[in-house]
Amino acid sequence: MRDSQRVRGMAEWRGPGGFFGINSRSVSGPLCIIGAIVGVSLLAGNDYQLGLMFMMGVYFLCAAGMNVLVGYAGQKSLGQAGLFAAGAYGAAILSTRFDWSPVFALIGAAVLSGLCGALIAWPSLRVRGPYLAMVTLAFGIVVEKLVAGWTEVFGGAQGIYGVKPLTLSGAPLSGLHWVWLVLGMGVITYFLLRNLLKGRFGRAWLAIQADEIAAACAGINVYRYKVLAFVIAGICCGIAGALVAQHGQYINSDYISFNLSIFILLLVLLGGAGSLYGPLIGAILLTLIDAYLARWPSVQHFGYGALLLFALYVMPDGVAGLLKRLNGVSAPEAGPANQLDASKGRSVLARTVEAISPGGADHSLLEVEHLGKSFGGIHPVQDVSFSLRPGKIHALIGPNGAGKTTMINMLSGVIPASAGRIAFLGDDIGRLSSHAICRKGIARTFQNLRLFGALSVQENILIGRHCRMQNGFFSALLGLPSSRAEEHQAREYTASVLKFFGLTALAQRPAGSLAYGLQRRLELARALATEPLLLLLDEPAAGLNPQECVELGDLIVMIAGLGITVVMVEHHMDLVMKISDHVIVLDHGSKIAEGLPAVVRADERVIASYLGAPAAA
């Protein structure tokens, strides 16, 4: 998916609307399409045309679920035929062997395929990109072989006959009823997913797609969200499969093939991955193309392969992206960045910090005891201990390769320590993951910027609010008032942070399009939006010009003035000596000195290993 499209997709949010998050502007497009399909279905003259419309609805369900997984969460999946099969065979077996009613068989099939989704999500913790695609592909192939070869259970090529269809007043649904049923399910699916994708869940998936480490450090439970995306894709594909089995009252292994996985992927990519309309466009277009190409089975799969390549190379935004471009939708104009304006956002930020900051200045906020890290035979940090006083600016300095970033990575949970203990407010956080550490109140920035470059400035900061938002999955899915109120509050808080950092005029710009100095500022803003008690800054002045360095120093002092403790890894000694209250010096992984800046500057070991002797007058 192209960056600009994602940004625009997220920027479409228009504030609190009507019941269940539905407002007139947001429903007009889908309602037009639904009205057109209802109209056509009423005019449809024969079973073939009704069958085509039924398949459009079925493919839309598949595509809508896969869009969450592929378009938003960015997980490469090629196992969707397996999920479809889980639903189809689940419904078939439950209704024929266990005599379940069609409705319960449909629900059972959805649960089963959701579980299969969770199963294939498991490897996504360890493998990414093409490797994940291989794992999901293997799942699809295993299911394909299973349903074809285990004839006692799945019937092989003969299939399973007598699948109970859904009924109306005791009679099986007519062709028109099936169309209206899938249409109704499609509409419900669209609005439920829309609620989810427009709020913190959608942002979390986009953040994971952009950068998993940055997402975790912004408080997102990456694994949980990946599993959720796979389960949603599984349920949607499973319901689609179950409907096909119930509609035809039959399912066999011919349905379940690698081609089906590619076809479902194509629905998303051609329609427009990461777009709310994309799956609908993909379903309509590809059902018609599929029906047309069915006359020439020998070129059918060739046609899909060619379309897939076309979608990937020529139209990466899909048809939805193309339509938006033709409509002239572009990124909004932005004014210049403002100077930092503490008066604007300070009251909100300070109040929050006071509310969550326990203890007084005498307490130690963080205790590091005999901390060590080994990468095989390399020991970047060895037996380091120090403690941090709240509300102070602490600098962590030392020569290249001294272990400073490794220390920050351990404090923020990016890598586990090999030895020692980290206590934050008295709790051992050494075994916690990054998102849990962020939730506890430790935020960080990165030596090499890790912004979500395709998302807007505002969305980047909203992602920082993620860990302070409480609304659950079902409340977000249903667009309940509590969830919408919380989203509204998050946006208000974000507006305060934007003002504090002088970024209001740039709120809708893609983060990646900002000047380098502003990107550094934005990363700091995102970290501050998590309401940290401790802020870890890894070389915040790297790449800044002298004027920006001065501004950064003022900003850090301002942040510390809010009561937030700062640890700053930095090579700019002027900045360190000017604003730090306490300096810790590492060399070859060991602490060689700590204390007040003036004391450290005069320390002979520090002079010898890092600072060097001052030039003679």
Ligand X SMILES: Nc1ncnc2c1ncn2[C@@H]1O[C@H](COP(=O)(O)OP(=O)(O)OP(=O)(O)O)[C@@H](O)[C@H]1O
- Applying CB under 6 A, among 153, 157, 361, 378 the residue interacting with ligand X is 378
Q: From residue 26, how far is each of 18, 21, 459, 549 by CA, in Å?
A: 10, 9, 20, 44
- Applying CB under 6 A, among 87, 380, 391, 510 the residue interacting with ligand X is 380
In angstroms, give the least distance from the CB of 385 to ligand X.
17
Residue placing its CB nearer to ligand X in the complex, 114 or 403: 403
Residue 528: which residues within 8 A CB-CB, separation 6 or more? 349, 443, 464, 497, 500, 535, 559, 564
Residue 97: which residues within 8 A CB-CB, separation 6 or more? none
Residue placing its CB nearer to ligand X in the complex, 83 or 585: 585
In angstroms, give the least distance from the CB of 568 to ligand X.
13
**Is 572 an interacting residue with respect to ligand X (CB under 6 A)?**
no
In angstroms, give the least distance from the CB of 595 to ligand X.
19
In angstroms, give the least distance from the CB of 498 to ligand X.
30
Nearest to 542 by CA among 556, 555, 552: 552
In angstroms, give the least distance from the CB of 520 to ligand X.
16
Chain residues 457-496 in contact with ligand X, contact rule CB under 6 A: none
Residue placing its CB nearer to ligand X in the complex, 507 or 566: 566
Residue placing its CB nearer to ligand X in the complex, 330 or 385: 385
In angstroms, give the least distance from the CB of 511 to ligand X.
23
Residue placing its CB nearer to ligand X in the complex, 293 or 600: 600
Chain residues 200-229 in contact with ligand X, contact rule CB under 6 A: none
Nearest to 82 by CA among 192, 238, 190: 238
Strand partners, 378: 375
Residue placing its CB nearer to ligand X in the complex, 241 or 398: 398
Number of residues that bind ligand X (CB under 6 A): 12
In angstroms, give the least distance from the CB of 600 to ligand X.
16
Chain residues 338-377 in contact with ligand X, contact rule CB under 6 A: 375
Nearest to 535 by CA among 390, 339, 428: 390
CA distance linking residue 292 with residue 282, whole number of Å: 15
Question: What does the per-residue mask of binding to ligand X show for 394-413, with x meaning CB under 6 A?
Answer: ----x-xxxxxxx-------
- Please, are residues 496 and 348 in contact by the beta-carbon 8 Å criterion? yes
CA distance linking residue 555 with residue 559, whole number of Å: 6
Residue placing its CB nearer to ligand X in the complex, 405 or 580: 405
Residue placing its CB nearer to ligand X in the complex, 285 or 549: 549
Strand partners, 369: 421
Residue placing its CB nearer to ligand X in the complex, 404 or 484: 404
In angstroms, give the least distance from the CB of 273 to ligand X.
32
Residue placing its CB nearer to ligand X in the complex, 193 or 397: 397
Judged by phi (left if over 0) then psi (alpha if -120 to 50, else beta), residue 359 lies in left
CA distance linking residue 188 with residue 32, whole number of Å: 15
CA distance linking residue 211 with residue 119, whole number of Å: 23
Q: What are phi and psi of 585, to 5 degrees?
A: -115, 125
Count the Cβ atoms, other than its own, within 10 Å of residue 111: 15
Q: What are phi and psi of 290, to 5 degrees?
A: -60, -45
Q: Is 134 helix (H, G, I), strand (E, B) or coil?
A: helix
Chain residues 415-454 in contact with ligand X, contact rule CB under 6 A: 447
Residue placing its CB nearer to ligand X in the complex, 405 or 412: 405
422 membership: H or E segment, kind and range: strand 419-424
In angstroms, give the least distance from the CB of 371 to ligand X.
12
In angstroms, give the least distance from the CB of 573 to ligand X.
13
In angstroms, give the least distance from the CB of 55 to ligand X.
50
CA distance linking residue 536 with residue 441, whole number of Å: 11
CA distance linking residue 192 with residue 343, whole number of Å: 40
Give the amino acid at 379. Answer: H
Q: Give the pairing of strands 393-397 and 565-569.
A: parallel
Binding site for ligand X (CB under 6 A): 375, 378, 380, 398, 400-406, 447
